[in-house]
Amino acid sequence: MSKFQFRTQKFKTLNAHELYSLLRLRSEVFVVEQECIYQDIDDFDLDAIHVCGHNDGEIVAYSRLLAPGIKYVGSSIGRVLTKQTNRGTGLGKALLKESIAQCQQEWPAADISLSAQKYLEKFYSGFGFETKSAAYMEDGMPHIQMTKKSS
């Protein structure tokens, strides 16, 4: 990951290649790898801030940030992923730190919420997220709602 960097962009600033790459990676991870059949491309993308982790020009990590009031009362982080070949390198932790920092910069007074896959509860707890719901099924997988209070 020596040439790794994050870029944060609004939808309208993504070029066609970047948009294709991030949508392809989301499909690769969520639809193919995790076998979640759902409508990934939704209207939330249009209003989102897209956090893309690049390594040698390739998107290998991604998350989507939404402003307060769009999906939750506070801001939210979603579609969090790392490319399978880059897992176990600390990239997921770096991505979440960057995503939290961007939310705090954009919306400093807002709590940050997310719908976490249940097996990742401990991972998100390590960043200050607290479980706010019982497990529920979303896209065929157990999820929980988690929230990190604003600083």
Domain ranges, ordered by start, for the chain? 4-108
User: Does 4-108 carry CATH code 3.40.630.30?
Assistant: yes
Q: What pLDDT was estimated at residue 60?
A: 92
Q: What is the dihedral of CA 147, 148, 149, 151, to 10 degrees?
A: -160
For the chain, residues with pLDDT lower than 70 are 1-2, 31-32, 34-40
Q: Give the pLDDT score at 46.
A: 87
Instruction: Report d(CA 151, CA 115) in Å as an integer.
Output: 20
